[in-house]
Structure 1
Amino acid sequence: MASRRSPTARHRRLMAELNRLRENSGLSRVEVAERIGSTDTTIWRYETGLTRPKPTDVAALTTVYGVTGQERDSLVQMAREARQRGWWHRHRQALKPGFDSYIGLEAEASVVRSYEPLVVPGLMQTEPYARAVIEATSITHTPSEVDEKVSVRISRQRLLHGSSDPIQLVAVLDEAVLRRRVGGREVMREQLERLVDLGRLPNVEIRVIPFSAGAHAAVDGKFCLLSFPEPEDPDLVYLEQAASGLVPEDPEEVRRYTLMFGSLTAMAFGTEASAAFIAQVAKEL
């Protein structure tokens, strides 16, 4: 199990556990609320993630559900961890709605599978490339806000390099990602060379879908799949738009994107051919 811990991921697990325990108990939210001296709305907010319960609240709920010993201690500790603040919390005002939650989930993920049709994934961007992308897309932001967003993006990259359990990254890139000259010739060459270097890491896999592959299942846009080290935490998909990010909780939606990613990897070059292709594009610059 990964040693990384994220309040966002801990909260997601706690929410699921509280739902499961109440359903297994056969009690309604009204009945649970009566037993702990609360309201059914409060129980609903705990179970839907709108409110992060205090450790004392979770302890009271475990008594109602008959949970004791190590399982009870684990849930109470999870509540403590869920109420902490990750490093990204102080930057939430500079980020698009929903993206701070994604960063929190990414921080505890064991595997990230990313499809990008237009730009290099944030986890692999050089700082000059990241700045060029952010300046182009943050047309209403001040220079200081751009600086903050660049800082957040670079800080996330510690997941690839800065821990004893680095995240596993599988990135599928459309050829357009390599051809679009973001930031100019020198910035783009440096970025492509970074991709070649990253592809040599044991925890990074990069595949390129060439233009010649034609249409594919993800022509509608980018997406990212996260997997977690504990089997109780289901995979999730993150969908990003210009003004917001979304994490659908429907398992069927996650399954659909998982199948899409498998289709993309089947169409893409292998890792060695992709590395050679990226290096050739860089040489052309």
Structure 2
Amino acid sequence: MPNARPVPTVRRRRLGEALRRYRHNAGLTLDTAAEAMGWLGPKLSRIENASAHIRPTEVAELLRVYEITDSEVVDALEGLAKDARKQGWWQTYSGIVAPAYADYISLESDADCVREFAPLLVPGLLQTAAYARETVAAHATTRTPDEVAALAEVRLARQSVLTRPERPLKVWAIIGEAVLHQRFAARPNTMRDQLRRLLDAAEMPNVTVQVMQLDVTPHPGGAGGFSLVGFPGPMPDVVLLENLIGAAYVEGVDEVQVFADAFERIIAAALSPDDSLALIAQMEERHRK
């Protein structure tokens, strides 16, 4: 497969947005801040707009201009600058994985937690190989069989974040009950094995699974599914919204908070984790009969 080296622009966007926010908080214009760095205004504008790279040492110097001395903030933003061009394992699939999806995988690799409301599909981090192949084939309608196989491989490879030695990713998945009733005519054991996978995953200390019942009262999740990606330290969260032709990100702090508040209400509307696992176990048992 082609191995191009696209810049993981989502890291640059997060860094640029953070630097812009701290500049505004410091009451500085682009020109004033750039002059303090010995730059022209357009250079700082390009950095904030994620169209130019900034070295980690320059990040630290710029934050001093903004009178930011919190070591946690400085270390986090220096780390983003350092990793802006870092290539991950997914880059070997660069001819297959769309840029927005590659961005998401890089977010996932940096993240501390993912909170996902999944009304239509088992979240990718909790899928079996067979379920991944079947659902990728169903949704990637313009892809060749080889590309479908590669995308399924990518989906499974992403799951390594759940068991990484340092900071295993915390996942809180709320799954629509309708998802658990899916049928795969050509491979009838697919759903049984997927239900077992959910039960096994929920035994991990960093994974929580809830089910949103079919007869639940209206809640914010009625507007559609989303993934809320959280990061350690001072970095703001990011929301992913997906559809058949790609993905979109919500990155503004106030806008992301809308989804965070909605997720809390979705948690309250869903079955408790214990009751959810009991329901999944009952359904898995029925598949065995």
Q: TM-score range by the shorter chain?
A: 0.7 to 0.9
> Which stretch of the first structure deviates more once superposed, 262-271 or 168-177?
262-271
Aligned with 2:101 (options 65, 74, 99): 99
How far apart, CA to CA, are the structure 2 residues paired with 1:177 and 1:72?
40
Does residue 249 (structure 1) correspond to residue 240 (structure 2)? The answer is no
The residue correspondences of 1:104-115 to structure 2 (distance < 5 A) are 104-115=106-117
How far apart, CA to CA, are the structure 2 residues paired with 1:184 and 1:80?
46
How far apart, CA to CA, are the structure 2 residues paired with 1:239 and 1:84?
24
CA offsets 1:62-84 (integer angstroms, 9 cap, x no match)? 68667899799845564232222
Does residue 132 (structure 1) correspond to residue 125 (structure 2)? The answer is no
- 1:39 CA displacement: 4.3
Partner of 1:211: 214
For the 8 Å contact 2:13–2:48, the answer to whether it is kept is no
Partner of 2:48: 47
How far apart, CA to CA, are the structure 2 residues paired with 1:270 and 1:55?
44
CA offsets 1:224-250 (integer angstroms, 9 cap, x no match)? 1112111x1122211111112111123
> Which stretch of the first structure deviates more once superposed, 59-68 or 160-169?
59-68
Question: Which segments of 5 or more consecutive residues in structure 1 lack a partner in the other structure?
Answer: 1-6
The residue correspondences of 1:236-275 to structure 2 (distance < 5 A) are 236-275=238-277
- 1:273 CA displacement: 1.3
For the 8 Å contact 2:31–2:40, the answer to whether it is kept is yes
Alignment TM-score, normalising by the size of structure 2: 0.83
How far apart, CA to CA, are the structure 1 residues paired with 2:99 and 2:112?
24
- 1:122 CA displacement: 0.1
- 1:169 CA displacement: 0.8
Does residue 193 (structure 1) correspond to residue 196 (structure 2)? The answer is yes
- 1:54 CA displacement: 3.9
Does residue 226 (structure 1) correspond to residue 229 (structure 2)? The answer is yes
- 1:164 CA displacement: 3.1
Partner of 1:3: none
- 1:55 CA displacement: 4.7
CA offsets 1:100-120 (integer angstroms, 9 cap, x no match)? 212111112111111111110
Q: SS of the counterpart of 1:273?
A: helix
Taking a change above 3 Å as real, the CA distance of residues 220 and 95 of structure 1, as seen in their structure-2 partners, is farther
Question: Which segments of 5 or more consecutive residues in structure 2 lack a partner in the other structure?
Answer: 1-7
- 1:21 CA displacement: 4.8
Q: Which amino acid aligns with 2:113?
A: V
Taking a change above 3 Å as real, the CA distance of residues 33 and 154 of structure 1, as seen in their structure-2 partners, is same
| Number of aligned residues | 278
For the 8 Å contact 2:162–2:169, the answer to whether it is kept is yes
For the 8 Å contact 1:173–1:207, the answer to whether it is kept is yes
Q: Which amino acid aligns with 1:252?
A: D
Taking a change above 3 Å as real, the CA distance of residues 51 and 189 of structure 1, as seen in their structure-2 partners, is same
Q: For the aligned residues, what is the CA RMSD?
A: 2.9
How far apart, CA to CA, are the structure 2 residues paired with 1:89 and 1:269?
38
The residue correspondences of 1:115-154 to structure 2 (distance < 5 A) are 115-154=117-156
> Which stretch of the first structure deviates more once superposed, 102-111 or 185-194?
102-111
Alignment TM-score, normalising by the size of structure 1: 0.84
How far apart, CA to CA, are the structure 1 residues paired with 2:240 and 2:128?
22
For the 8 Å contact 2:212–2:269, the answer to whether it is kept is yes
Taking a change above 3 Å as real, the CA distance of residues 115 and 67 of structure 1, as seen in their structure-2 partners, is closer
